[in-house]
Amino acid sequence: MIKLTARQEQILNLIKDAIENTGFPPTRAEIANELGFRSANAAEEHLQALARKGAIEISPGTSRGIRLLEMGIERTGGRQMTLPHVALMQLRLPLIGRVAAGSPVLALEHVEANYNVDPALFSARPDYLLKVRGMSMRDAGILDGDLIAVKKSDVARNGQIVVARLGDDVTVKRYRKTDAFIELMPENTDFKTIRIDPDREDFALEGLAVGLLRAWG
């Protein structure tokens, strides 16, 4: 049983909440801001302590490279219960490549391959994988060629990373809605926020990003 300090447990719960609400872990800066630390370095020290205790895994080189490592345990009535072996829980997901203008994302002609994946990797059960094109979400740790796990949905909460259709393009961005408009926000200062009229006919939400796979090679 992992023994955590009160602060470490607070940070672990913050990470869980971020993954549940947005599909992705928080950045060091977001942790520091939420907990009132003076710098992101203080958050990094606590994350490293959590990693040493086996509560999380840290992937170097990305601002959101944090993965929970306790997802194989389900707590029920104060008891710990081991889930079935991951080999028995594999999901088979279609990988969607370039999407033709005006056609459904899950149309058969867009499926490049099918992958068996461990559902414990994701914050919610995904329906498909989408290949990312471009670097507009770089600072969220989402790079060109990565595979986003997507749960089909036509609604989203502010702050969630979404897959959206805009005209002839399908894009991955952070979602924000106000009374007047919808914003699709990049996480790379080289790109601009896209502002949309909610009644625009060629705009639609296709789904929520619930996880990320790095396509090595």
Per-residue pLDDT band for 116 (boundaries 50, 70, 90) equals confident
Residue 207, SS3 per DSSP? strand
Per-residue pLDDT band for 53 (boundaries 50, 70, 90) equals confident
Please state, in angstroms and rounded to a whole number, the distance separating the CA atoms of residues 147 and 145: 7
pLDDT score for 101: 63
User: Are 141 and 64 spatial neighbours (Cβ–Cβ below 8 Å)?
Assistant: yes
Q: How many CA atoms lie within 13 A of 15 on its CB side?
A: 27
Indicate the DSSP class of residue 121: G
- Does the structure show a pLDDT above 70 at 67? yes
Which is it for strands 128-131 and 91-96: parallel, antiparallel or unpaired?
Answer: parallel
Both tokens assigned to 160 = 């969630």
pLDDT tens readout for residues 169-189: 889 999 999 999 999 999 999
Full set of structural domains in the chain with CATH: 6-80 (1.10.10.10), 87-213 (2.10.109.10)
Residue keyed to tokens 């302590």:
49
- Does the structure show a pLDDT above 90 at 56? no
User: Are 173 and 194 spatial neighbours (Cβ–Cβ below 8 Å)?
Assistant: yes
Q: What are phi and psi of 86, to 5 degrees?
A: -60, -30
Q: How many CA atoms lie within 13 A of 188 on its CB side?
A: 15
Per-residue pLDDT band for 151 (boundaries 50, 70, 90) equals very high
Residue keyed to tokens 């992101």:
40
Residue 170, SS3 per DSSP? strand
When comparing pLDDT for 158 and 89, which is higher?
158
pLDDT score for 1: 61
Please state, in angstroms and rounded to a whole number, the distance separating the CA atoms of residues 194 and 69: 35
| 50, burial (CB in 10 Å: exposed 0-12, middle 13-18, buried 19+) | buried
Please state, in angstroms and rounded to a whole number, the distance separating the CA atoms of residues 108 and 150: 17
Evaluate the CA torsion angle 171, 173, 176, 181 in order and state its sign: negative
| Residues identified as active-site | 136, 173
